Amino acid sequence: MDNKTPFAAGMARFALSHPVTVCMVFLSLLLFGIIASRLLPLEKFPGIDIPEMVINVPYDDATPSEIERMITRPIEEAVATLSGIKRIQSRSFDNRAEIYVEFNWDENIKAKSIEAREKIDGIRHLLPDDVERILVFKFNTNDMPIFQLRVSSERDLSNAYDLLDRNLKRAMERVPGISKVELYGVMKKQIIIRLKPQRMAALDISAADVTRQLQQANFAMSAGQIDNGNQQIRVSPQGEFSDIRDFAAMPVRGSISLSDIADINYEQPEATEGRHLDRTYAVGFNVYRESGSNLVDVSSRVLEVIEKAKKDPAFNGINLFVMDDVAKSVTTSLSDLLWAGVIGAVFSVAVLYLFLRQLSTTLIVVLSVPVSLCITLGVMYLAGYSLNVLSLMGLMLAVGMLVDNAVVITESIFNERQYTNSRREATLKGVNKVSLAVIAGTTTTAIVFLPNIIGVKIDVTVFLEHVAIAICISLFASLLIAQTLIPLLAEKIKTPSTTKKVKAAAYQRYYQKVLAWVISHRKSSGLIALIILASTILPMQVVSSDGQGNDDNKRVWLTYHFTQGYSMDEVEKSVDKMEAFLYANQDKFHIEQVYSWFTAGEAVSGITLKDDLPIPIAQWKTMVKDAMPEFARARPSFNWRSDNGGGLQITLTGDSTSRLLALGDRLVAPLSAIEGLEDVKLDVGNQQQEVQIRIDRERAHRLGLNAESIAGLISTALRGVNLRTFRHGNAGEVDVRLMYSQDTQTSVSQLQNIKIASWQGKPVTLANVATVTTAPQLSEIQRINRQTALMIKANLGEDLTLEQARERISAVMAYQSLPDGYSWSLDGAFQNMDEAQQVMQVNMLLAICMIYIVMAALFESLLLPTAVIGSLLFSFTGVFWTFMITGTSMSIMAMIGMLILMGIVVNNGIVLVDRINQLVNEGMSLSQAVLNGCQSRVRPVLMTVATTVLGLVPLAIGTTRIGGDGPAYSPMAIAIIGGLLFSTLTSLFLVPLTYIQLVRLRQATARMIYQAHNRVRRWTRQTT
């Protein structure tokens, strides 16, 4: 190993020769890291472009089938030609079309959204002429609202738009860092012109003529300019109305003005949705921040505006409630992580002192933690990263590992002091002996993340990349400190000079005795190792696979599932009934607040629970469902869990919607009978009544009419026509809408009596040229990958796992016969879990290969890394046994823990093998080198394992979640702790045993090759 001395101890020698320089460098890095911690943007998640695009096409007062045929299908065909599409899903409603396009994670979503707009523009002529706008949305994690504000009052808030807009919305928009504030639930007043059909019929005036005249009367345009030689004067004809009375006085024909055939009012539009908060009418705000701004700072400034508004006399009797404060959940999560880190660090210091028995040495080792963290924060700031729950999770995981390199280096230095009086010489020798081991250990810990960074991209790997960056930067910072600052400080510590070797501790002597037995009984030891490895089968049969395990214990959503498309007033009555029931049992159900949203045929209630719910959330849901009253119009159930892509989802695909409905109705019963499946329902919205108007084309032609003009008149009567906006005083731009009287919009008979034309002096009504019938119609039509689809959704029961649900659903569906051209598939949580587990398993295999490559390069051997790789297998054994004992399911967070574990467990083997190699190269016998090398390294191995494990104990036993409401950290911490402890106990004996066997195998192979070579040479001489 002497040939490696200049390289291994080079950095330490430089540090010892330039102590002031090194101290100033690290002091500067420490100060810069402290400053960077204040400058780093604080966010919930890093700014990541989500590879999803939503195309929203508003089209009021239509039918789902009409929107599917005229809007959804043409847009689907257009965007399907984009490359990199993973999935297309669409939903056609009675007032809009929504097309969801999911891309692969490595696609540039910004470029795809531009390309999609170009594709849609190319087929714009195929869409209805009265489609006003097509909205294409792309998403970034920074685009989410920082909180939702709800406003409730006993006062009537329906006319409070101006108050809320002027005194609250605009005030929040002026806060630095705020990009947008949305106000909904209360609408701005409009000028509504309601035509009187009877009066128009008597005066023989058509709606088309009135529409045309209104569009021509209220205008503003530029007519060019006049050049009189000295100056240019712009010419702008002014035809805009300046007062609402201008509309009433507008001449329609002769002496007939608009007020003679219509009512013109400045009024509140008819509400299409409503909200309740604490059983009172509520209004909502969504507040968005600018990208790169500090989440907590911006949120606190907005909250100051809200507190100021509460004191405003204009808001007397109005309650302002912050419903979802992202900053609060982030600070809670960060606080929990910091406390877990502090507790873990205290445990680690205690363990180090217990082993080292010297305060100064302990403080030197512990010093690597804050310096490494500050260097990491500084690098993250320079690289443009933010401080978020993912990067902080990486720092939290790294805390226990940051002392590993310092422990090994310090232990080696003070071990050399037992043989050398010169502190500098002992320091250089000590660093040189373990430099290769600490470099290899740090590199293998970091290299396991490489497949996630450069491999197949899914949501887990993209988010894990930000965890990996924090871990890797901090680990390499600790490596730099261990090679420079630690030797410099260790040299300054005076220890009593001794030439006698200090007697080994009792646990070291005991370990050497057991190791000697293992080496002398290789067959028995190998058999025991195989039995331990084979025992993994037992917990693998018990430990179940599960999703992310993200069940929010703070808020639960209740969906009403109305049987028909009831009016908003009827829906509100059901909401009132449910809220009365919940508030009557508020203390019993531990309810803090209830927020409800409703519209025609649809409603949902969000139930906010009190902190520290004394019972499991699944038990709480059962208790509420058992006590829930009966509803005649609705079938309430708790919302399908959205954390797993919509809960459990069985997708039926085919050509006919009616046939899919029949299949779905037939399958709900057997699926509901599966034990553990809850809330099994068809996700089809509700049925509505559709008025179908069939025009007699032949009769219309005889009367000089066509179907298009008749449909346009009906559209004006029911949907209305948007006219040019009108500037009205302080209200600014006011929408102007032309429509028929409310009687026409609420009565089929009135609609049939609308005059559409005159023929030979007689009025022609709609009933003269069309047949009006009523038929049932779905409230929405769904399509997946351009096929009509129907979803059956369900929730998992408390004791049912995803894997068990998959088996039971597949068993039920195996006995169900589907018509030709119709199929079923498992989506939602199943699809997400399968994809994530498949990618994570591949990345784990790649990580093992990379660990082997790194060790082979550092050891300059293809055989010796195999001795260390074996410890990975036993770490997985420890993980599964720990999961079985603790009742933890195999989730994505658990797999992330196993991935991190793979980079950690090999460090123990590397330290052992590196020391054994050094002793063998010094001429010691193989068995003696193994015994002495392992005994000398058992203390640093136990110290590094203890600090890592104790650093994670607070996360393992705590309830801390990602972002405060995401998946729990505990499965990840439990996986690392269980695997690391079990792997350490086995690798301390099996790595040396495997090393001896491999060396003997290499020697036997060399002898065999040598003997074969000699035989060939003798045979060659004999033949010649």
User: Considering only CA atoms, which of 931, 756, 722 is closest in space to residue 211?
Assistant: 722
pLDDT digits (tens, 9 = 90+) for 390-445: 888 888 778 777 777 888 888 788 878 777 778 888 888 888 888 888 888 888 88
pLDDT digits (tens, 9 = 90+) for 32-55: 999 988 888 877 778 788 888 999
Q: Measured between alpha carbons, how far is 77 from 421 in angstroms, rounded to an integer?
A: 82
- Count of Cβ atoms closer than 10 Å to residue 285 Cβ: 24
Q: Measured between alpha carbons, how far is 261 from 254 in angstroms, rounded to an integer?
A: 13
Q: Which amino acid is at 438?
A: V
Topology given in CATH for the domain delimited by 503-542+861-1023: Multidrug efflux transporter AcrB transmembrane fold (1.20.1640)
SS3 961: strand
Where is mean pLDDT largest: 340-354, 625-639, 671-685? 625-639
pLDDT digits (tens, 9 = 90+) for 621-655: 888 888 888 888 888 887 654 443 346 788 888 87
Q: What pLDDT is stored for residue 6 in this prediction?
A: 45
User: Considering only CA atoms, which of 173, 190, 183 is closest in space to residue 731?
Assistant: 190
Angle at the Cα of 790 (from 785 to 796), degrees rounded to 5? Answer: 110
Q: What are the residues whose beta carbons fall under 8 Å from the beta carbon of 95, sequence distance 6 or more?
A: 58, 59, 60, 61, 62
0.85 exceeded by pTM: no
Let me know how many helices (H) and strands (E) the chain has, helices first.
37, 30
Q: What does each C-alpha distance from 309 to 159, 281, 284, 731 come to in angstroms?
A: 18, 19, 15, 21
Q: What is the CATH number of domain 49-140?
A: 3.30.70.1430
Q: Measured between alpha carbons, how far is 457 from 842 in angstroms, rounded to an integer?
A: 12
pLDDT digits (tens, 9 = 90+) for 559-602: 888 877 788 888 888 999 998 999 988 888 888 888 888 888 88
User: Considering only CA atoms, which of 102, 97, 103 is closest in space to residue 73?
Assistant: 97
- Contact status, residue 790 vs residue 663, Cβ threshold 8 Å: yes
Q: Measured between alpha carbons, how far is 991 from 912 in angstroms, rounded to an integer?
A: 8
Q: What are the residues whose beta carbons fall under 8 Å from the beta carbon of 842, sequence distance 6 or more?
A: 451, 455, 456
Which helix or strand (DSSP H or E) is residue 143 part of?
none
Confidence of residue 544 (pLDDT cuts 50, 70, 90): low
SS3 791: strand
- Contact status, residue 656 vs residue 648, Cβ threshold 8 Å: no
pLDDT digits (tens, 9 = 90+) for 735-757: 888 888 777 767 777 777 777 77
Phi first, then psi, for residue 331 (nearest 5°) are: -65, -35
Structure-block tokens of residue 398? 């790294």
SS3 592: strand
- CA torsion 7-11-17-23 (nearest 10°) is 180
Q: What pLDDT is stored for residue 524 in this prediction?
A: 86
Alpha helices in 747-801 (DSSP H): 748-752, 766-769
State the maximum Cα–Cα separation within the chain, in Å, rounded to a whole number. 132
pLDDT digits (tens, 9 = 90+) for 72-84: 999 999 988 888 8
Q: What pLDDT is stored for residue 154 in this prediction?
A: 73
Which regions of 110-259 does DSSP assign to beta strands (E)? 135-140, 147-153, 178-184, 190-195, 225-227, 232-234, 251-253, 256-257
pLDDT at 191 > cutoff 80: yes
SS3 591: strand
Q: Measured between alpha carbons, how far is 510 from 223 in angstroms, rounded to an integer?
A: 100
Confidence of residue 546 (pLDDT cuts 50, 70, 90): low
The residue with tokens 């009537």 is 156
Q: Measured between alpha carbons, how far is 674 from 813 in angstroms, rounded to an integer?
A: 11
In the chain, what are the domain boundaries? 1-39+358-500, 49-140, 190-220+240-267+689-778, 503-542+861-1023, 556-645
pLDDT at 540 > cutoff 90: no
**CATH class for the region spanning 190-220+240-267+689-778:** alpha beta
pLDDT at 548 > cutoff 50: no
* Domain 49-140 matches domain 556-645 at the CATH topology level: yes
Residues paired with 555 in a beta bridge: 608
Which helix or strand (DSSP H or E) is residue 745 part of?
helix 742-746
Q: Measured between alpha carbons, how far is 491 from 37 in angstroms, rounded to an integer?
A: 31
pLDDT digits (tens, 9 = 90+) for 130-178: 788 888 888 877 778 888 888 877 777 767 787 888 888 888 888 888 8
Helix axis angle for 892-921 and 423-447, nearest 10°, is: 140
Residues paired with 136 in a beta bridge: 55
pLDDT digits (tens, 9 = 90+) for 469-517: 888 898 889 888 988 888 888 888 766 444 345 566 777 788 888 888 8
- Count of Cβ atoms closer than 10 Å to residue 182 Cβ: 12
pLDDT digits (tens, 9 = 90+) for 943-999: 888 888 887 887 788 776 666 666 777 888 898 899 889 888 888 888 888 888 888
Q: Measured between alpha carbons, how far is 370 from 30 in angstroms, rounded to an integer?
A: 8
Q: Measured between alpha carbons, how far is 157 from 188 in angstroms, rounded to an integer?
A: 12
- Contact status, residue 927 vs residue 996, Cβ threshold 8 Å: yes
Q: Measured between alpha carbons, how far is 336 from 346 in angstroms, rounded to an integer?
A: 15
Q: What pLDDT is stored for residue 27 in this prediction?
A: 92
pLDDT over 90 for what percent of the chain? 3
Angle at the Cα of 434 (from 428 to 436), degrees rounded to 5? Answer: 110
Structure-block tokens of residue 827? 């989506």
pLDDT digits (tens, 9 = 90+) for 694-723: 777 777 777 777 777 777 777 777 777 777
Q: What pLDDT is stored for residue 375 in this prediction?
A: 92
- Contact status, residue 152 vs residue 597, Cβ threshold 8 Å: no
Residues paired with 764 in a beta bridge: 757
Tell me yes or no: is domain 556-645 CATH 3.30.70.1430.
yes
Tell me yes or no: is domain 1-39+358-500 CATH 1.20.1640.10.
yes
The residue with tokens 């005649």 is 632
